[in-house]
Amino acid sequence: MAGKTLYDKLWEAHLVQNRDDGSALIYIDRHIVHEVTSPQAFEGLRLAGRPLWRADSILATPDHNVPTTLSERAKGVDGIEDSVSKIQVQTLDDNCDEFGVVEYKINDARQGIVHVIGPESGACLPGMTIVCGDSHTATNGALGALAHGIGTSEVEHVMATQCLVAKKMKNLLIKVDGTLGKGVSAKDVVLAIIAKIGTAGGTGFAMEFGGQVFRDMSMEGRMTVCNMAIEAGARAGMVAVDDKTIEYVKGRDFAPKGEQWDQAETYWRTLVSDDDAVFDKVVEINGSEILPQVSWGTSPEMVLPVNASVPEPQLESDPVKKSSIERALSYMGLQGGQAITDIKVDRVFIGSCTNSRIEDIRQAAEVAKGRKVADSVIQAMVVPGSGQVKAQAEAEGLDKILVEAGFEWREPGCSMCLAMNADKLGNGEHCASTSNRNFEGRQGYGGRTHLVSPAMAAAAAIAGHFVDVREF
Amino acid sequence: MKSFTQIDGLVAPMDRANVDTDMIIPKNFLKSIKRSGFGKNLFDELRYMDEGLPDQDCSHRPLNPDFPLNFPRYQDAQVLLARENFGCGSSREHAPWALDDYGFRCVIAPSFADIFYNNSFKNGLLPLILPAEVVDQLFAEMYANEGYRLHVDLAAQTVTTPSGESFSFEIDEFRKHCMLNGLDDIGLTLQEADAIRAFEEKAKQTTPWVFGMIKA
């Protein structure tokens, strides 16, 4: 009999029972909750008179709507100037209080973006099933966990039953061997993967990232990669447990201690795909050939190496693809054949659940050190992913380096990744952004997003246009 | 949940691939704490010429004359005809809520993003997969015939054109059953509460660190 994949093992360990109709009931260990996708779920419970199945499975925090300026933030929920955002954050507080859910409130030192604080607090651990009403929940798969986004109806379902009705996905292995070149980061790796397989390449699959590049990668880097599994169509991305995973988890607030730690570590070390495991699909990429990446269009698959030129629609024979290239070029205000390095940037955003961890801030600061943001750049902001990342960065003096270079140093939250708070792009502005989606209007009405790594974003801020960070 | 048995609905086009959830319902409208009222902001940035605001009266906003849903011939459409990977992007259930609130009961496409597909079933909105060449044919027939309608029968798993041509589609048995009967998922799962408790008791032995760590 063939061996099992990591996903097979995680699935089997959480299978409550198979149903006759081909679906299955899967037990959920951890549920992370934020203000945007939970109010209707709490309301549903109230209307049906249903209690939470297990309140101690939930950790909540507001992140999407929170302001990131200190002046607005200092006054807590009351200080949120956008009245609609304020209601949503207040509603989360009220619901958590009513249902007895632990919440890191807006000015708690542990508050942050859900997918940053999950691993950071130890609330999310290897071997767990983890859900959140947010598609970037796959980030937690970096721990060797089965983590994925769900809709609000499923948020309510998990709150009431601690389970999800699911069907087993297929197994996809993304194998990246070789060694990454200087200046090439986890973000470039995942953008290159999406460029290769497309935004629907992983639909229906659980995606495991394997190979030397991921073995060599830090936990933060693995989180960046798993975070964007959904941009390749896969709900769940994951990396097998190894020494780095164990070291990362050890000592975190909600991680097991003492004897339980030993029991946990022994179990976690089994969370790897067996040598003879069979994947339904395998994609191999040579990591040594990956260059720094920049997205040019309005879908995360519209990505090219920094030394390339924007595609020319007349060279595309497929009519649906041709028209999508034309539409993207028109929205982005670009000419086919234009060099990526000729694209000027108006704003720079370093942050989001993809790239707001300490390693990301370090990479940005390394590039920014002793340099200045170009005069032509309206704004360059760095938004740490959590209160703890912020504190760590400040302890290392990274905030000073960035501020001296002309970057704004903000309070933690989702910020300009999706512009639900006050941080937005203006109409027609180009942004070098370390976030995960370059959809039309994502970062502000008419805004033009280019997805890049933190080092590439910092370099673009200084040059005023995209540059190859390897030559910077 | 609203049930879905069969409809005979006017068809409207969303003729592009990779329609994402930010396009279906932009983020400024996600601040609502309700499930309803999103229809007026469906495809907001494509549908209107100005930038939309939450809680705004949309009846006087300038409409984009080139956007098909604004054409008189597609008013009151119940079936949306779309391309590959419809609903990619975020997990926001506001996307199916907006489509449903606008009046759509069914989206037909060659493929859907996983989370959107799943969310649709929770809201009585049928995401229906047909082969790309069939979708091409339906687009062509729809463009050529004003008032083009499709008959969708969930029990029989068929889509029938005005000329009587019929296509069958696949759907998971459990999803079909819930949708036909408008069943409440949570109520169904709670019937298995004993099995969930038994699982939990076992898990407390094998993975005790999963339980009780996060306390108020």
Interchain contact, B172 vs A23, CB within 8 Å: yes
Residues in chain A predicted with pLDDT less than 70, given as ranges, are none
Q: How far is A440 from chain B (nearest CA, A)?
A: 7
For position A472, what pLDDT does the model report? 87
B92-102 pLDDT, tens digit per residue, is 999 999 999 99
Interchain contact, A200 vs B111, CB within 8 Å: yes
A379-413 pLDDT, tens digit per residue, is 999 999 999 999 999 999 999 999 999 999 999 99
A213 touches chain B (CB under 8 A): no
For position B4, what pLDDT does the model report? 96
Interchain contact, A123 vs B199, CB within 8 Å: no
Interface of A with B in 285-314 (CB under 8 A): 299
Residues in chain B predicted with pLDDT less than 50, given as ranges, are none
For position B173, what pLDDT does the model report? 92
How far is Cα A213 from Cα A227, in angstroms, rounded to an integer? 16
B65 touches chain A (CB under 8 A): no
Q: Which residues of A touch B32 (CB under 8 A)?
A: 84
For position A209, what pLDDT does the model report? 98
Interchain contact, B119 vs A445, CB within 8 Å: no
DSSP, collapsed to helix, strand or coil, labels residue A442 as coil
Exposure of B36 in the CB half-sphere (CA atoms within 13 A): 2
Interchain contact, A299 vs B18, CB within 8 Å: yes
DSSP string, chain B: -----EEEEEEEEE--S--BHHHHS-GGGTT-SSSS--GGGTTHHHHBSS---TT--GGGSPB-TTSGGGSGGGTT--EEEE-TTBTBS---THHHHHHHHHT--EEEES-B-HHHHHHHHTTT-EEEE--HHHHHHHHHHHHHSTT-EEEEETTTTEEE-TTS-EEE----HHHHHHHHHT--HHHHHHTTHHHHHHHHHHHHHH-GGGSS-S--
**CA-wise closest residue to B107 among B93, B115, B122, B96:** B96
For position A145, what pLDDT does the model report? 98
DSSP string, A75-114: TGGGG-SSHHHHHHHHHHHHHHHHHT-EE--TT-TT-B-H
Q: pTM score > 0.80 for this model?
A: yes
For position B184, what pLDDT does the model report? 84
Of A17, A56, A156, the CB nearest to B192: A17
Of A23, A37, A320, the CB nearest to B91: A37
DSSP, collapsed to helix, strand or coil, labels residue A157 as helix
A99 touches chain B (CB under 8 A): no
